[in-house]
Structure 1
Amino acid sequence: MASSRASLMPAALVVLALCMTILNGMSAFVGTQPALRSTNRVAMEVEWHGGLNRDVVEVFFTAPAQGERTRMVVTPTTTIDQILKDGRKALGFDQEWIPDSDFTLYNEDFPDTPLKGTIGECGLVDFGYEVHMYFTPK
């Protein structure tokens, strides 16, 4: 008799744990709804309409053909050449025998227009700016 109780004990514990998990999950779901409804309406009405309001901006530097990506911090006066040099180094594509001129940077939103000059002149915005690097040997 004792051995049959011992064999049922682990199964009973598993069922109990499963029931508790389900009940806790349900109460947590129901419990969070009022909190979502009572948020401050002023905070919800704030929208960001783009533009550049910051002196330092994080941008994504991506090599789509290789599936590589990194982040870097730039200022609006950072040159495209410097971003290319820093991005190649960060991703490990800084071989001395391949010149920087064999790569071209594009904004992900305007893939037909190569970036030139400073990043600030290329439509830099506060959030979500991404440049793509392509190998374009000359």
Structure 2
Amino acid sequence: MTADAFVAAARTYVGVPWRHLGRTRTGLDCIGLVLLAARDVGWDLPDPAPYAREPQGTRLLEGILGHAPRVAEASPGDVLLFRMGLYGGHVGIASDHPAWGVSACLHAYAPRRQVVEQPVDAELRAALLGAFRLPALET
């Protein structure tokens, strides 16, 4: 799977409603977006569901990021891990937005109630815990 194909697959979900534990085009959460975009390009990732809406530890992300090495600088297709409270509990997919030409993040964003692609602004940068490269990605 290529990073470009993974990002393109994730973009097809922009506008899909946010739904906790959602795994379909009728609604999905942040992990659901990563799982479905990966599946769409031929790679099945382990699903850590069920999990609480508010993270209580690291179990939430063990399935997706357990074997993904952390990278110093995010590239399109890398999975971004964001803090929710004390824990990493939100993920997105790094992208370069084609219209804006800036680093962006594709994520199922509960406050916006849908999947969005937005620039990595000061708020996202402050919550960013790290970037992880999925082993199946070819750059």
Scaled by the length of structure 2, the TM-score of the pair is 0.31
Structure in which a larger fraction of residues adopt strand: 2
Higher relative contact order, structure no. (Cα contacts within 8 Å, ≥ 6 residues apart): 2
Scaled by the length of structure 1, the TM-score of the pair is 0.31
